[in-house]
Amino acid sequence: MINNFNEDYQYDSCIANGRCSINPRISSLQEVLILYLKLLAHYVLKLNENGSFDDNAKNLILNTISIAVLNSDFSESDFKKIISKLNEEIPRIINEYSLSCEENDIIPDYLKSVLKFDKSADIIKSIQLGEKELLKKVKLIPVEVRNLYTIMLVLAKSICINLLDLETYAIFDEEGYVTILKLLDSLNAKEYDREKVVSFIKDVVKIDNKLMHLVRDAQEKRYGLQKENSVSYTTVPSKAILVVGSNIRELEDVLEATKNTEIDVYTHDEMMLAHTFPKFSEYKHLKGQYGQGMENCLLDFATFPGPIVLTRHSLYNVENLYRGRLYTTDIAYSKGVISIQNKDFSPVILSAQESKGFKTGKECETVEIGYDFKEAENRIQEKLENGNYNKIFLIGLNAYTIEQKSYFEKLIKQAPKDVLIVSLSYCVNSENIVCFNTCFDIFAINKFAQDILSKFDLPKIIFFPRCDRHSISQMLFLSTLENIKVYVGKCTPVLLNPTLISTVGDIFGIKTLSSVKKDLEDIKQEK
């Protein structure tokens, strides 16, 4: 393992707190939100077809999906905040749609709904409604259909996050947004056509893939082309702020707000990616990375001696950290988390100044992360030109488990010498391996597969050791490309449960990791 300074650390706060799945009450509330979302999407889509665009509805749909759908940390308080907005918004949109149909002499396409737009958002009644809908699904909809619908929601979440990230760079992608509306509206269908659904999913992942590229292009245009860089886990005596999540545009906002103070800034988890962009080296008070990442977020947050900023769609359980030091830019937030509005980080700065900060600091190891695209391409091409290779293995981001660490160490050692291994996390010294420490860069596996390895006409086996909010979209997209087979490691049930991965395997040919010996034998037999 090459991308963390403490490779033996195996603590997982998801497991320790029993939050690796969504509890039944929250599942029921999320089911109710899906009822609202697919109803709202239907009328917004119809309004769009009539030539009317509603920005408020767009923001509500995107933010609700990014925060609420398939989130084990979603709470009842989050539900109340969101449902009150939906109860106001949907009747307004339906009324606008009715007026639009009258003006355009169109017969309205109304949907029947069990929803009653009660602004009180009664939790007990909502849970009862959600339970009823879940039972109805189990009784009336076949398992494969339910799984495909779940995949569609996962894809909706990935697209939403990419769209929201693009908006921070003042970019709006209408095709992506309309795809969200069509995806949600398709859940209203009373009849099911397997081939149409599968075909639609393949179209959706292509659009999401385009959005991922647009996000990276926007980042590199603003911050410079990615490069390899040294990142320290060392802390120094000073007041400090921790910035969490993946939205590096908001990290920039924090750095700008604190550049004339004596407050240092540290990154956490995926935010480490910012250190690979040249622009961020200009901020001398950006010190480095703190903690072990998402798997260890509770301990990391508890030990950080200053305020913590949760950037948009940072999915963390913070309900047992009510210390007044957690801040967020999201529209919905848990109890004890303070909202940041209009990029006003003055409450965060004040909290940092009043916190104890790092008294002595701690010397820790420095790691090299990131990669130069041209250099990476040249290294791989040189290997292929100088060796007799018949296949390429591409290994994605580290999953931080002993089980998978052991698996990939064995895989690298036991793989035939006529296989070129391109590893983005696990690494050993060997003639047939090229290593890059892409660390928390969830887009790296996609970029390597599409922009580098696609140029070489060899069978490619792509391994996804780690599951995240974009993994399913990426693996589905890559599985549709020529000459590629996809393997996925064990995921938390929230992202990819056993029945869901079974459906993904049956329809898209994606396989789960078993044993190194068996997997290598299966790969050997594949054409």
Give the CA angle between residues 79, 80, 83 to the nearest 5°: 80
Q: What is the DSSP string of 189-256?
A: -SS--HHHHHHHHHHHHHHHHHHHHHHHHHHHHHH-----EEEE--B-SBEEEEEESS-HHHHHHHHH
The Cβ of residue 117 has, within 10 Å, a number of other Cβ atoms equal to: 14
Task: State how far the Cα of 116 lies from the Cα of 129, in Å rounded to an integer.
Answer: 11
The whole-model pTM stands at 0.90
Q: Give the H/E segment covering residue 521.
A: helix 516-525
- What are the domain boundaries of the chain? 14-221, 226-366, 371-525
Q: Which tokens hold the place of 437?
A: 């420490």
Say which DSSP state 65 is in.
H
How far, in whole angstroms, is CA 462 from its chain's centroid? 19
Pick left, alpha or beta for residue 293 (phi over 0 → left; psi -120 to 50 → alpha; otherwise beta).
left
How far, in whole angstroms, is CA 427 from its chain's centroid? 25
Q: Decide if 271 contacts 369 (C-beta within 8 A).
A: no
User: pLDDT tens digits for the chain (527 residues)?
Assistant: 444 434 433 444 444 444 455 678 888 888 899 999 999 999 999 999 888 888 999 999 998 888 777 666 677 777 888 888 899 999 999 999 999 999 989 999 999 988 888 766 688 888 898 899 889 888 888 888 888 888 999 899 999 999 999 999 999 999 999 999 999 999 998 877 888 899 999 999 999 999 999 999 999 999 999 999 999 999 999 999 999 988 999 999 999 999 999 999 999 988 999 999 999 999 999 999 998 877 677 788 889 999 999 988 775 555 555 456 888 887 766 667 888 888 899 999 999 999 999 998 889 889 999 999 999 999 999 999 888 999 999 999 887 678 888 899 899 999 999 999 999 988 888 889 999 998 888 899 999 999 999 999 999 999 998 877 788 899 999 999 989 999 998 776 556 677 787 888 889 999 999 999 999 999 988 76
Task: State how far the Cα of 207 lies from the Cα of 184, in Å rounded to an integer.
Answer: 15
CB-based contacts of 480: which residues, under 8 Å, 6+ apart? Answer: 202, 205, 206, 508
Q: Which tokens hold the place of 334?
A: 């848990």
Q: Decide if 308 contacts 318 (C-beta within 8 A).
A: no
Say which DSSP state 438 is in.
-
Q: Topology of domain 371-525, per CATH?
A: Rossmann fold (3.40.50)
Task: State how far the Cα of 338 lies from the Cα of 347, in Å rounded to an integer.
Answer: 9
Answer whether 226-366 and 371-525 agree in fold: yes
Task: State how far the Cα of 104 lies from the Cα of 115, in Å rounded to an integer.
Answer: 28
Q: Which tokens hold the place of 103?
A: 């003006």
Question: What would the CATH number be for the domain defined by 226-366?
Answer: 3.40.50.2030
CB-based contacts of 330: which residues, under 8 Å, 6+ apart? Answer: 63, 67, 310, 312, 313, 314
CB-based contacts of 134: which residues, under 8 Å, 6+ apart? Answer: 27, 28, 31
For 231, phi and psi rounded to 5 degrees? -125, 130
For β-strands 239-244 and 308-310, DSSP reports them as parallel
Say which DSSP state 282 is in.
G
Widest CA span in the chain: 73
- Short-list 426, 417, 415, 431, CA closest to 517: 415
The Cβ of residue 84 has, within 10 Å, a number of other Cβ atoms equal to: 14
Q: Decide if 239 contacts 263 (C-beta within 8 A).
A: yes
Say which DSSP state 451 is in.
I
